[in-house]
Structure 1
């Protein structure tokens, strides 16, 4: 399992608390990590030897789903292992066929390494902000009254959703050609 992106101490400092329950803080941070991974459709943490099955598109390039790509171990097309010189890849996950095209509807299996050995500071910062919102408002109250109690709940205020600003900050780490 990958190391957490932030520590309970990071959350404590962000919230300016004297003490913090480490187990609860770790759970809130893990939840924020999951939200960010889901929003970006990226694993983020370094993964070695990941295997992915793709479908040929009839073009010279095909996109690997996770980035940054740090290495490609093998590429097979319909069970046939390609020579290393038959393709090239860049860190953005663009796998290019040097000659010809990826056969349309072919089964393309790629074994590759991807992710960040050290999570970028910006991702960590957004993770701590998200966890901080979840810590401060765990029930997701948007408004509250006391006389004849009334409450309004809002998932965006629990740390379960990224703000538009945070999504713009994280966009360079997102999946897809718009992030390249």
Structure 2
């Protein structure tokens, strides 16, 4: 697995603490990474030689589930090896375009046949996690550190306090979600 996105020292500085339990901080940051990955529906870290099995959709474009794509080693269509630049092309956004010659009235003959098996071996992810993703991870871990039980309210004697439930523990805020949006993949890639 890739290196952690943030260190206990990053969390200590974010929380402005004199000292921090490194093991607990690392565990909290790891939990925050899991939540951010789930929200993004992306692995984020660089992965080389990942294999994905897709199903043809009857269109010229098909989306790979992870981005950014940094290399495509091979594409097989129902077991037949395709050639990059002749049979398909790819871009960093994870779009595989089926190439073909125009036919009558400019329609294209090539598409990813409906229900065909499309097997792709490719590299994807970021060599260094984007700063915004790292910051959201630290903020999420920081909130969980300050409010470990995700308490929304507390009462002591005649005093009671209520906190914003969306800012408790492991819930991403709307602002954090908007920061993560450029790194997320939409449902069209599934």
TM-score tier (shorter): over 0.9
Q: The residue matched to 2:132 in structure 1 has which SS?
A: helix
Describe the shift of the 1:147–1:22 C-alpha distance in structure 2 as closer, same or farther (beyond 3 A).
Answer: same
In the TM superposition, what are the counterparts of 1:128-147 in structure 2 within 5 Å? 128-147=138-157
Higher Cα Rg: structure 1 or 2?
A: 2
TM-score, normalised relative to structure 1: 0.92
TM-score, normalised relative to structure 2: 0.88
How far does residue 157 in structure 1 lie from its aligned partner after superposition? 3.9
Describe the shift of the 1:21–1:80 C-alpha distance in structure 2 as closer, same or farther (beyond 3 A).
Answer: same
Consecutive unaligned residues in structure 1, runs of 5 or more: none
RMSD value over aligned CA atoms?
2.1
How many residues are matched? 178
Contact 1:61 1:101 in 2 (8 A): yes
Partner of 2:130: 120
Consecutive unaligned residues in structure 2, runs of 5 or more: 101-109
Contact 1:32 1:159 in 2 (8 A): no
Partner of 1:66: 66
Q: Distance in 2 between matches of 1:27 and 1:156?
A: 22
Partner of 1:52: 52
Q: Distance in 2 between matches of 1:144 and 1:111?
A: 52
Contact 1:134 1:157 in 2 (8 A): no
Partner of 2:41: 41
